[in-house]
Structure 1
Amino acid sequence: MRPSRPNGGPASPARRRSGGTAVSRLTVAKALTLPALRGTRVLAGANGLDRIIECATVMEVPNITRWLRGNELVITSLYALRESPEEQVRLIADLDQVGIAALLIKPKVYVDRLPDRMLQEADARAMPVLELPVETPYIDVLNAVMAEVFRRSSVRRYEADMVEDLLAGVIADPAQLQARAEEGGWNPPGRGGGALIHIDPPQERGVNGGVLSRLCDRVADEVRAAVRGGNGLVAASGSRVRVVLASGREGVPVPRSLARSLLQSVQQDLARRGVATLSIGIGVPVDGYAALPDSYRTACRCVDLGRRLWGPGRLVMPDDVAIYHVLEAIGPGGGPVTGAAPTALPLHPGLQRLLEYDAANKAQLVPTLRCVLDEQGNLRRAAGRLFVHYKTVQYRMARIRELTGWDLSRPELRLAIEVQLRWLDLHSDRAE
């Protein structure tokens, strides 16, 4: 049987409390709180109760997996497999490979007892196996689950449309903004800001469009939960999640430190759990929502430059890359990117000497110099970042002084070297 779909037209978006609270997607755990699933027991796979339900379907025929797309709540009495405990065990692996949300079984109708190995397999795969009370009709579960899926989807779509319109500059009239914000339960007064999150899936997983879409939705749910107290709106598509924040009070700017800490907590948590690597850019706060597209473009630039310079997994704010915006005006050949007559950015002879020394000797003098400058001359912190002994850094810095004759206590020399190192970052092979 094909997945059940909700009947009727779209419902009005559900109200959210002031502060940007958004409705996340339906998980198995949340579905178990629906009245239609009252009395349902978790038999196995309790560690997978955070799996997402996108639709519900009934399985009473063999080879059900060919009809599945992933994220289904599969309801069954196991009638088609009633004579084969071995096939019941294999069913768990087959359904998990498709990526269903949970298996909801009405037992004791055709199967008196589920095989222990079936439940053990479900536990090992963290795939929930649930027991539905015998007296509960399938249709009640299908209707309740799909109504809740549709309700949550409607709210998220309304929120996503508002984010897209805000960041595209479509909503500029204050009265229109207030009307749409009230409909969605968002609190728009005050200054606003935009943020962008780029998602990199774990490299060891094969990722197709459907998997990436579900991963993007999952990240968006995590971000939505984090920023709801910060008056945030979230939209997701492809491999990117867009965020709009507002202070909620006239004349008060968006607290950038709060935005940073909220998004960084999601970034670190998902990286620790191996879910995804997030590259985050946070734009500057702006006055008035007509200027939100400018803030969002700044956030996009932060993400793009951060990934280009340092690879994925960084949280970047405009101040972090301000110098690179200046240096981008100078092309990799030393001339302006506008095509005007070349104006070289000559490298300090000492820096050129270090680059040549590193290339000839496979040494690490330039990376060490960069790290020491970043740590404001603290050799012990630099050694920790470089994963080398403190005395190794001491030796390398002594060698740098021998080759260059530099006195790095001079602030103007340090500034010149740091600017040139960042220019090299921007136009190095790694950056390309």
Structure 2
Amino acid sequence: MWYDQAMIYLRGEPMTTSFTVKNLLDMPLFRGVEVLAGAQGLSNEIFYVDCMETPDLTGWLRPNELILTTGYSFRFEPSMLCRLLDEMHRVGGSAVGIKTKRYLQEVHPEAIELSNRYGIPLFDIPLDVPFMDMTRSIMDQILQRQAYLLKEVHEVNQQFTGMVLNRKFSELVILIGKLLRCEVAILNREGEVESCTADYNAASGVENRPVFTGNRIFGTLSLTRKLEDGDHFEKMCLDHAVMALAIEFTIRQAQQLHRSREQELFAAELLSGGVSRQEDLLRYRAKHLGIPYGGFVYVMALRASCPADTDSETVKTLHSRLAEEVNRDSGGQRRLAVEINDRLLLICAADRPETGKQLETARKYKAELEARASRIVGTDAAAMIVRCGIGAVRGQYADLHASCLEARQALAFGEQAADQPEVLHFHDRLVEHLLMDVAGHPLLEQLHGELIQPLLDYDGEAGTELLPTLEAYLKSGSTKQVAEELFIHRNSVLYRLERIRELLRTDIHDPDIRFRLDLAIRYGQSRKIKRVCPQL
């Protein structure tokens, strides 16, 4: 039924759901009624009907209202009819029917002029027609037409809902276009066309209706023509179309949330090592959930450092927000982000096991995440620092947890040592990672106690920087370069090195002693990280 009506509508045969002044005058009870003025307003719709025999006009008139009167209230003051027409024009009234033969005999010329000017018809009601018969007949017509309209729109809504629930999104869009007699398109939040009718052109969109899910806009219904104000069928179809699309976007959101939750759970299993060792099964699950893979996979561990005045609640949710944004708009990159233990872990795909390519990718992601974090926190991008640790590539998902541990260790080294780069690869600190696995070894503890602890104690008591000076010297071997790095005079470097030699009672220029010193320093750093991050 509703589809046949839609096709009639499409062929240009209007549905007779509106009740106009012309429809009123075509009723048997009103045939032969003379239209005194305002004939250009015969298309005015009638929603209400009332009888008026009071001189007080202000405040009770309604839009699209038909007024029936004997003219008794302005029999001695015909100009009051002009006031009635003024008030009806102000609120958008439909027409005025007067039993002129009862009290007025004729209508004031000024009222005739106002009726023509405002397009509010004035018509003469036969004296022998009771108001009761008129109001009952009019209300019957109004209610029948409204009931018919509601029935048709109800069937349209049922069809819309059925298409949404049966996942017939394209058919829904085509039907909306046919019912509204124009080209239509569904746009997502970014303004991109998700589905449209065959001849839709973005430049021709003239009316847009936002689609809300809760209090958030999830899309837009775009039309290529403005709907007519008086066409209630079209207006109601549009409202129900927007409602159906809200259901569609709600279903999509629920599906996306479910998929995201499955992704997070599977990613957490991969990163923790709590998965089956059957690689074929892991790849099947990963492909089904959209986990990246390109021949090799690896993990990046990132953490954002916020400005000091950022509140703790904002910092707490920052990584979760970053993970949501990265997964929603990965920019075509093969990556998946999850937030675990205040770190942002990225599962990344690689075609080749190249450390240089990993570092290049990590620096690009780092800059992107710093910009996103600044936008979320609402601060200057220069105030945001994202540190990154990179694990080695693996050829199997079953080994991804090892890359995760390496990435977290690299991140920890970068955060604990101020002189470390903001992007640190696991391979850059292989010795430190090895030493972390033997933390507490008695020989290493003895070596650290003999060579490093004296310098730590002296620096703590005297406020000097002997240990940082020794670290810089062991790395470069050049006192000039150490002076430039520490912003001190070269003689100060020489003095500090001599003081170190005296405290340790050893020749720090001896290659074997230099190796032991370097090993003890690295062991001390590894032990510190192990103490701060025992889970590593």
Q: TM-score, normalised by structure 2?
A: 0.46
Conserved? CA contact 1:226–1:262, under 8 Å: no
Question: How far apart, CA to CA, are the structure 2 residues paired with 1:314 and 1:10?
Answer: 50
Change (3 A) 1:32 1:205: farther
411, 418, 428: which one pairs with 2:511?
A: 411
Q: 2:264 aligns with which of 127, 135, 160?
A: 160
Change (3 A) 1:200 1:141: farther
1:221 and 2:325 correspond: yes
1:139 to 243, 261, 279: 243
Secondary structure, counterpart of 1:30 in structure 2 = coil
Q: Which amino acid aligns with 2:260?
A: R
Question: What is the deviation of 1:398?
Answer: 1.2
- Deviations, residues 210-257 of structure 1 (Å, cap 9, x unaligned): 87346423245347856854x433333563333333435xxxx43333
Q: Match of 2:134?
A: none
Give 1:30's match in structure 2, choosing from 187, 190, 205: 190
Match of 2:357 among 240, 247, 258: 258
- Among 344, 363, 366, the alignment partner of 1:241 is 344
Write the distance in 2 (CA, Å) between the matches of 1:73 and 1:165: 34
Which structure would you say has the larger Rg?
A: 2
Where does residue 395 of structure 1 map in the other structure?
Answer: 491
1:205 aligns with 2:310: yes
The 5 A counterparts of 1:186-335 are 188=293, 190-208=295-313, 212-213=316-317, 215-219=319-323, 221-222=325-326, 228-229=332-333, 231-237=334-340, 239-247=342-350, 253-271=352-370, 274=374, 275=377, 277-310=385-418, 314-328=422-436
Deviation at 1:206, TM superposition (A): 2.0
Q: CA deviation at 1:393?
A: 4.2
Distance 1:236 1:228 in 2: 20
1:50-61 counterparts in 2 under 5 A? 56-57=213-214
Describe the shift of the 1:313–1:247 C-alpha distance in structure 2 as closer, same or farther (beyond 3 A).
closer
Cα distance in 2 between the residues matched to 1:169 and 1:353: 44
Contact 2:319 2:343 in 1 (8 A): no
How far did 1:183 drift? 3.0
CA distance in 1 between counterparts of 2:516 and 2:304 reads: 35
Q: Would the alpha carbon gap of residues 288 and 420 (structure 1) be closer, same or farther in structure 2, given more than 3 Å must change?
A: same
Structure whose residues are more often helix by fraction:
2
1:256 and 1:385 mapped to 2: Cα distance?
Answer: 27
Q: How has the CA–CA distance of structure 1 residues 356 and 161 changed in structure 2, closer, same or farther, with 3 Å as cutoff?
A: closer
Q: Give the paired residue count.
A: 313
Measure the CA separation in 2 of the matches of 1:312 and 1:402. Answer: 26
Q: Confirm or deny: 8 A CA contact 1:197 1:281 kept in the other structure.
A: yes
The residue type paired with residue 523 of structure 2 is W
Shift in CA distance, 185/260, structure 1 to aligned 2, threshold 3 Å: same
Change over 3 Å in CA distance of 1:39–1:377 after alignment to 2:
farther
One-letter code of the match for 1:370? E
Q: 1:376 to 1:146 in 2, by over 3 A?
A: farther
> CA 1:171–1:195 in 2, change beyond 3 Å: closer, same or farther?
farther
Given the alignment, which residue of 461, 464, 484 partners 1:363? 464
Q: How far apart are the structure 1 equivalents of 2:348 and 2:246?
A: 36
> AA paired with 1:212?
K
Q: Compute the displacement of 1:399 (Å).
A: 0.5
**Matched residue type, 1:424:** G
Question: Relative to 1, partners in 2 of residues 1:226 and 1:408: Cα closer, same or farther, differing over 3 Å?
Answer: farther
- Alpha-carbon distance change, 206 to 195 in structure 1, aligned in 2, over 3 angstroms: same
Corresponding letter in the other structure for 1:369: L
Displacement, 1:180?
3.0
Distance 1:326 1:176 in 2: 32
Relative to structure 1, the CA distance from residue 355 to residue 174 in structure 2 (aligned partners, 3 Å threshold; closer, same or farther) is closer
Aligned to 2:447, what secondary structure does the other structure show?
A: coil
2:289 pairs with 1:170: no
Distance 1:326 1:290, change over 3 A: closer
**Whole-angstrom distance in 2 between the partners of 1:219 and 1:40:** 35
Stretches of structure 1 lacking an aligned partner (at least 5 in a row): 1-5, 12-26, 42-52, 59-71, 76-108, 110-134
Equivalent residue number for residue 423 of structure 1: 523
**Is the contact between residue 189 and residue 246 of structure 1 (CA under 8 Å) also seen in structure 2?**
yes
Instruction: Give the distance between the partners of 2:294 and 2:370, measured in 1 at CA.
Output: 34
Preserved CA contact (<8 Å) 1:159 1:234? no
The Cα shift of 1:364 comes to 2.2
Q: Comparing both chains, which one has the higher relative contact order based on Cα–Cα distances under 8 Å and sequence gaps of 6 or more?
A: 1
Kept in 1, the 8 Å contact 2:304–2:370? The answer is no
Give a deviation string over 1:249-296, Cα, whole Å, max 9, x none.
Answer: xxxx43333233222333244446635643433222234332222222
Instruction: Give the whole-Å Cα distance in 2 for the aligned partners of 1:185 and 1:142.
Output: 26
Q: Does the Cα contact within 8 Å between 2:483 and 2:493 map onto a contact in 1?
A: no
Between the aligned residues of both structures, percent identity stands at 16
**Does the C-alpha gap of structure 1 residues 9 and 177 become closer, same or farther in structure 2, counting only changes over 3 Å?**
farther
- Structure 2, unmatched stretches of 5+, are 1-160, 168-186, 197-201, 220-228, 230-236, 378-383
SS at match of 1:294: helix
